[in-house]
Amino acid sequence: MRLSNGVRSEEIISTVIGLAPHAEICSHIPGRIRLKISLSGLSQIDRSGIARTINAIPGVMNQRVNLHARSIVIEYDRKLIPYDLWELLGQIRNRPELAAVATELMRFLWA
């Protein structure tokens, strides 16, 4: 399925899952999340065209990527992207087996 900006849902899911082990949630309130990206994640961001991909996620209203600060801030519609999905993605760093659960949830949401 193609989402906004012509990006396919599987491309978005792959990028999000690939970035998750390199990201740490710094702050998260429903509707806004700030991620800190590890040094190892910088190549993932640069390679994937992360801003374009984030903008294509259904429910993302605004995003700011700051490569120098290794930070991503995403404002999202809580009705379209559940708070718990972000929290699940944040756990993948320490529990890689959760990637499969997160992948299926995103496929369900964006099918």
**CATH assignment of the domain containing 55:** 3.30.1360
Domain count, the chain: 1
Domain that holds residue 35: 4-110
Q: Give the predicted TM-score (pTM) of the model.
A: 0.87
Mean of pLDDT values over 37-49: 77
Which pairs count as long-range contacts for 75-79, CB under 8 Å and 24+ apart, including other chains?
75/31, 75/32, 76/31, 76/32, 76/33, 77/31, 78/30, 78/31
Mean of pLDDT values over 59-83: 94
Mean of pLDDT values over 18-42: 94
